[in-house]
Amino acid sequence: MCLFCRIVAGEVPAKRVYEDDRLVAFDDINPQAPMHVLVVPKAHVATLNDLDTTHDALVGEMIRRGAAIAAERGYSQRGFRTVFNCNADAGQAVFHIHLHVLGGRPLKWPPG
Ligand code: AMP
Ligand code: ZN
């Protein structure tokens, strides 16, 4: 099982901030901003390249959940960033898709 499947299964501890039957969200272990949450589907999908139409609702839920978590923390108006990294050039390190939700400081653009 991959690392995030193990977190979903409760075999690896994580600071969970949200869970439902399809998603879990937890604090990133190496936060890059005051808020750095990962929104992760419970089903294993390795990369964005592996998505098909059966995942469309799931990905929509991930993005809406990221926005909801940002809203809970008061970042809706000042802003926040959502990121999916895909494969080597983007620095994907865990091959189970996850949405990074970052906020609480000004974020530079373009990213490095
Ligand atoms: P990515 O580079 O997009 O694959 O991002 C993987 C993210 O997972 C990084 O931001 C890591 O800090 C984070 N991460 C790795 N291991 C853990 C863990 N055990 N619990 C929470 N976050 C983790
Ligand atoms: Zn997995």
Condensed to tens digits (0 to 9), the pLDDT of residues 39-66 reads 999 999 999 999 999 999 999 999 999 9
pTM, full prediction: 0.98
- CB of 47 closer than 8 Å to CB of 86: yes
Give the pLDDT of the chain (112 residues) as one tens digit per residue.
999 999 999 999 999 999 999 999 999 999 999 999 999 999 999 999 999 999 999 999 999 999 999 999 999 999 999 999 999 999 999 999 999 999 999 999 999 8
CB of 47 closer than 6 angstroms to any ligand 1 atom: no
- Six-digit token string for 53: 């139409």
Q: What is the pLDDT of residue 112?
A: 85
Of 1, 8, 2, 6, the closest CA to residue 23 belongs to 8
CA distances 84 to 11, 56, 74, 79, 97, Å, are 24, 15, 22, 17, 7
Q: What is the pLDDT of residue 91?
A: 98
Among all chains, which residue has been given the structure tokens 């530079």? 108
- Six-digit token string for 108: 């530079």
Q: What is the pLDDT of residue 48?
A: 98
CB of 74 closer than 6 angstroms to any ligand 1 atom: no
Distance CA(87)–CA(23), nearest Å, equals 22
- Six-digit token string for 3: 């690392």
Task: Name the closest-CA residue to atom 20, ligand 1.
Answer: 29
